[in-house]
Amino acid sequence: MFKNIPFYSLFRVCPNLLSLIAIFLLISCHQEKKSITENGWEFQSGNIIDDFENDSISKVVKPISARVKLIPVQSERGNQGIQIFFKADEKFSGINLEPDKPWNLEPNKNYCLVFDAKSDTDESAFITVEVFNHLGQKTTRIGSIYPKDFNTYYFEITTQTEDVESGLRDTPKAWKTDAIHLKVSGLLNKTDFTQISKISILRSQGLKDKTVTIDNIRFIESPERDPHFLKGIVDKYGQNAKEDFPIKVSSDDELKALADQELKSLAEYTLMPDRSRFGGWKDGPKLKATGYFRKEKINGKWALIDPEGYLFFSIGLANVRMANSTTYTGIDYTDEKLKYRDPEDVTPEDSKGIVEVPLEIMKTGYVINKLRNDMFLDLPAYNDPLANHYSYRKESHIGPIEHGQTYSFYRANLERRYGEEYPNSFFDKWLEVTENRFRNWGFTSFGNWIDPAFYHRNNLPFFANGWIIGEYQKVYSGADYWGPMPDPFDPEFERRAKKSIKVVSEEVQNNPWCIGVFIDNERSWGREGSVVDHYGLVLDGLSKDNSSYLKQEYMKILKTKYSSITNLNNAWKSEFSSWNELQKGVDYKKHTEFSDEMVADFSVLLETFATKYFQVVHDALEQEMPNHMYLGCRFAVWGVTPEVRKSAAKYVDVFSYNYYKEGIGKKYWQFLEEVDMPTLIGEYHIGASDSGLFHSGLVHAMNQEDRANMWADYAYSVIDNPYLVGAHWFQYLDSPITGRAHDGENYNVGFVSNTDIPYPEMIKKAKEINSGLYTRRFGK
């Protein structure tokens, strides 16, 4: 109507236009201020960081090994969003949002970071979101961005007291909302985030390129929490009491019927036709048989060789045991004898099975954590037939409860499923069913950490394991999540190593079904990055006095190289008056500048440390278990350096890594070509949010079908790598919904639920992957 008419002429065309404009502006302003209630909060009540409605991308947005662009979107909250092209196989790919000055949030209020997002392909996209305060401290959450349609995602920036005191890695939603709750990565801490300096939206070492559209990034004051959101959340089966999900059980009869149906199916199974007695490739070449598992490189690919001489690839599930099936109930006992620990014990607390507690002691129980105790709707009375699944934990790694009563819903559900013809007959049935499942699903072995009761059934190859624990001198790397490192030069460390490995040897009894032995797990060796991060073990060693066995060794090396303190001072650019001054201890942990010669010496000292550790373990294994391979200590990607790998290569038969990502890429794993040794993935997993559990795990999928597909991608990336000889999923059963007693992990990471029901999507995919395992790995 008004096309091509000058603005000032409109008043002549329409005399009442000024009034109309005024009315229009009034309505528009009113609409802008109107609060749109969505997902339990009000959209307009927040502070918009970026709605991407400008002509260009804000300078606040800084790409990291990623491409970004503005694109049109269909949304009631705007017409543009930002599309992020995440690159695969990058250490980090994504964006940082960095303002010139920190965003300020009101003190004494609780806030969420909220955004709308969708994956632009048919696949979900697993992302990490980090929020940094003005001091550089961060809180991290992870989640799966669903494909096709926009969903709202929220990140609770403010950690509340009950979150920490719950003892859960993450809690259920605290208010009613359809928005997707990003889950905690790492640990919850009460940290001040009223000034926010940076937000990162990333993918870390993703297996595939992904494209995600994000819009309306905003801070929103958190809605008022449901005061009962943590109360009565667990039913008598250890399931989510407030939500339904596909394999939820409603009665004992249903549980028994499902068990009977599965037992009938398993009774009719046959071993995959291309498998040897030990699970090797019967249809492949037959090599030298030694009667034990060994390693060999075949046509440019590393392989394990089974005792009969067949090529073998170890694909299986780890942690098949009851030790991590218990969860704290919030009760403790007055009897102090339960807390006693034998100093000569070689088994860590989290590897203990069920500890029987006498009834007279159980009657002394009292509540130590009401918040936690109120989570359970129907724990059995102490005179109940299922009370034999109570246990006791003497210590925790982390969490609000240091020790106390635990309960294993998983064991109780096994008794419900299989009955009890004689004391603990359900356990014997579990051993049989578990083995039959593994063989039926096509797995070739167990992973690490299985119940020793499997060791001599001789139905499935297994891995033995041991820990070196004790009161030896310790060294801190600075990245000591699981605790400090042992001083390998302390004679007590060597004594404890020999003692622990002798126990493992007595358990295994030279059984040819044992593939090899893992000793220790995810030790804190240090991590590549700054000098302090990389050489933390060296810096801590140098800070000690001459009572330290490690410091004595370091001094011997430095004196041999430099002969005089003057020579060392010239190289290190230091001013020590004498060797004695250095010997007393010097703290370099807060230094930021180090000479090249100093760093070179640190490298030598770190390699010396690691070489001694692996030599002590190797020699003890060689003496006690000469027929079984040494499989290392299962490095964590956050805790290994080139010096440590070089040291390990001198002594291990097979490298082992725990790698919680989407799969095996190329950039991080380039070192495999240099090392050229068989390598095994000791742990990985993927979880989903449709299991009823409150946390999906360290890598997230959208649902069980997506989880199975992501697992296939990971499995194939391992099978296709010529240096990798196996992959072990962690773990066989889901974590307890209220968290394992050791550290609160409450993840959907099992192939079976806590009611011992297999996840159908995972089993279907297992048979698909495993049936073609050997032809994919070695060809036809």
Residue 202's beta-bridge partner residues? Answer: 94, 128
Residues 18, 466: Cα–Cα separation, whole Å: 84
Residues 664, 657: Cα–Cα separation, whole Å: 11
pLDDT value of residue 730: 98
Residues 66-119: tens digit of each pLDDT: 999 999 998 777 899 999 999 999 999 999 999 999 999 999 999 999 999 999
pLDDT value of residue 190: 87
SS (H, E, C) 630-648: ECCCCEECCCCCHHHHHHH
Residues 642, 756: Cα–Cα separation, whole Å: 42
A 10 A CB-CB count for 323 gives: 21
Pairing of strands 66-75, 93-97: unpaired
Contacts of 403 (CB under 8 A, 6+ apart): 332, 338, 339, 392, 393, 394, 395, 396
Going by C-alpha positions, the residue among 142, 207, 208 that lies closest to residue 698 is 142
Mean pLDDT by 10 residues, the chain (780 residues): 32 39 35 43 70 93 98 86 97 97 94 96 97 96 96 94 95 95 92 96 97 96 95 98 96 97 88 94 96 97 98 98 97 92 92 93 96 97 96 95 97 97 96 97 98 97 97 93 94 98 98 98 93 97 97 98 98 97 95 96 98 98 98 92 96 97 95 95 97 97 98 98 98 98 96 98 98 94
Contact 311, 305 (CB under 8 A): yes
The token duo for 125 is 């996209």
Contact 142, 129 (CB under 8 A): yes
pLDDT value of residue 24: 37
pLDDT value of residue 296: 98
pLDDT value of residue 56: 94
Residue 198's beta-bridge partner residues? Answer: 132
CATH number assigned to the domain covering 41-221: 2.60.120.430
pLDDT value of residue 37: 52
Contact 366, 331 (CB under 8 A): yes
Residues 114, 221: Cα–Cα separation, whole Å: 10
Contact 289, 307 (CB under 8 A): yes
